[in-house]
């Protein structure tokens, strides 16, 4: 069976791309420094950008940390399996290449049946960044993984399109009060409620290491803004524009994709739409902005990393 094969490859130090509820991950045994080094190489990822370690249980997570605070356990019980990555002080078991030399490790238990079966079967923690070339949009289908990484990966588990479409929330619990390093489907407000303390968004200088790099960006220049700014641009420009619309109708680019107003659908469809337009040889990709509530924070965060405001 495919899961058995994928698990065997992981145990032998190979690379397996697999679906999660957020985006596809490129996995290797997190405790095998050689295997993890290959992830960086295949992705073209800077060695200073640490990886998320995926686990099948809270018990397995506890083997990766030097201590597991009660607050972390509370978050795990409430949100795992799910799109929440928790940063904690690492144990000596975790090789430094996995955490890019940091004293902390980022851990999450994904909410996807194939991912969970793979993790259980492999019976090792699995380091997995998004399975794209470094800097580009994350993959939300197995096809995206193949387009980006092709035969540089030993195995691709196909679980169809991912449900959420944006990467997990990252919260740093190695300090108190905790800090939100990357917004995602689980919001700062949800975390604050469970922890009983206000979880702050990281100031720009103290973002997650990965947030310093160019990220999520297509090759085609990307801009984002509200409908009226888009309309003004379309009236004035001679450039060929690919449009990704959310709430408004009636605007027309050279190519137009409509994701609809529901923020979940925008999150789910955004990377796929950007990838499609990126293949068209356009001068510009323009995305209609969304309100910053719920997962809207995460959507706007990724757009700011991928391009510039109109």
User: What residues make contact with ligand TXA under the rule CB under 6 A?
Assistant: 20, 22-23, 25, 49-52, 83, 85, 87, 99, 102, 104-106, 110, 128-130, 167-168, 170, 181-182, 208-211
Which residues, 80 to 139, sit near Mg ion by CB under 5 A?
A: 130
**Min CB(170)–Mg ion separation in Å:** 11
For the chain, give the secondary structure using H, E and C. Answer: CHHHHHHHHHHCCCCEEECCCCCCEEEEECCCHHHHHHHHHHHCCCCCCCCEEECCCHHHHHCCECCCCHHHHHHHHHHCCCCEEEEEEECCCCCCCCCCCCCEEEEECCCCHHHHHHHHHHCCCEECCECCCCCCCCCCCHHHHHHHHHHHCCEECCCCCCCCCCCCEEEECCCCCCEEEECCCCCHHHHHHHHCCCCEECCHHHCCHHHHCCCCCCCCCEEEECHHHHHHHHHHCCCCEEEEECCCCCCCCCEEEECCCCHHHHHHHHHHHHHHHHCCCCCEEEEECCCCCCCHHHHHHHHHHHCEEC
Least distance from ligand TXA to the Cβ atom of residue 105, Å: 6
The answer to whether residue 22 forms part of the interface with Mg ion (CB under 5 A) is no
CB nearer to ligand TXA: give 75 or 105. Answer: 105
CA 308 – CA 310 distance, rounded (Å) = 7
Task: Give the residue with the Cβ less far from Mg ion, 71 or 172.
Answer: 172
Question: In angstroms, what is the minimal distance from the CB of 49 to Mg ion?
Answer: 9
Instruction: State the binding partner of 310 from Mg ion, ligand TXA, none, CB within 5 to 8 A by kind.
Output: none
CA dist., res. 87 & res. 65, Å (int): 9
- Of 85 and 130, nearer to Mg ion (C-beta) is 130
Closer Cβ to ligand TXA, 33 or 211, answer by number = 211
Q: List Cβ neighbours of 196 (8 Å cut-off, separation of 6 or more).
A: none
* Position with the least CB separation from Mg ion: 130
Give the one entry of Mg ion, ligand TXA, none that residue 104 binds, where binding means its C-beta sits below a cut-off of 5 to 8 angstroms depending on kind.
ligand TXA
Q: Which is nearer to ligand TXA, 87 or 243 (CB)?
A: 87
Least separation in angstroms between CB 133 and ligand TXA: 11
Q: Based on the shown chain and the rule CB under 5 A, indicate whether residue 20 belongs to the binding site for Mg ion.
A: no
Closest CA to 105 of 117, 115, 97, 116: 97
Smallest separation, CB 214 to ligand TXA (Å)? 12
The nearest distance, CB 196 to Mg ion, in angstroms, is 31
Binding at 286: pick from Mg ion, ligand TXA, none (beta carbon under 5-8 Å per type) = none
Q: Which does 170 bind (CB under 5 to 8 A by kind): Mg ion, ligand TXA, none?
A: ligand TXA
In angstroms, give the least distance from the CB of 243 to ligand TXA: 26
Q: Smaller CB distance to ligand TXA: residue 83 or 253? A: 83
Give the nearer residue to ligand TXA in terms of CB position, either 105 or 180. 105
Radius of gyration of the chain (CA): 19
Per partner kind, with CB cut-offs from 5 to 8 A, the member of Mg ion, ligand TXA, none near residue 182 is ligand TXA
Q: Which residue has the tokens 């690919």?
A: 242
């Amino acid at each position: 069976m495919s899961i058995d094969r994928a698990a065997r490859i992981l145990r032998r130090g190979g690379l397996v791309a697999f679906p999660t509820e957020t985006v596809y991950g490129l996995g290797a045994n997190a405790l095998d420094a050689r295997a993890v080094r290959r992830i960086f190489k295949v992705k073209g990822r800077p060695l200073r950008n640490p990886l998320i370690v995926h686990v099948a249980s809270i018990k397995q997570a506890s083997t990766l940390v030097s201590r597991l605070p009660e607050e972390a356990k509370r978050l795990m019980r409430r949100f795992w399996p799910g799109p929440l990555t928790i940063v904690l002080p690492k144990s000596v078991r975790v090789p430094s290449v996995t955490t890019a030399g940091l004293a902390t490790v980022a851990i999450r238990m994904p909410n996807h049946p194939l991912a969970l079966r793979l993790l259980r079967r492999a019976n090792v923690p699995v380091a997995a960044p998004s399975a794209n070339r470094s800097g580009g949009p994350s993959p939300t289908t197995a096809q995206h993984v193949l387009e980006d990484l092709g035969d540089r990966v030993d195995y691709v588990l196909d679980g169809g399109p991912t449900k959420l479409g944006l990467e997990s929330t990252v919260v740093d619990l190695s300090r108190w009060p905790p800090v939100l390093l990357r917004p995602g489907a689980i919001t700062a407000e949800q975390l604050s409620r469970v922890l009983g303390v206000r979880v702050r968004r990281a100031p720009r200088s103290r973002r997650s290491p990965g947030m310093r790099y160019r990220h999520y960006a297509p090759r085609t220049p990307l801009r984002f803004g509200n409908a009226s700014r888009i309309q003004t641009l379309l009236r004035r420009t001679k450039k060929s524009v690919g449009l990704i619309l959310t709430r408004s109708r009636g605007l027309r680019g050279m190519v137009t994709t409509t994701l609809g107003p529901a923020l979940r659908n925008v999150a789910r469809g955004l990377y796929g739409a950007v990838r499609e337009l990126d293949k068209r040889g356009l001068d510009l990709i323009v995305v209609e902005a969304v309100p910053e509530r719920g997962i809207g924070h995460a959507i706007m965060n990724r757009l700011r990393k991928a391009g510039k405001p109109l």
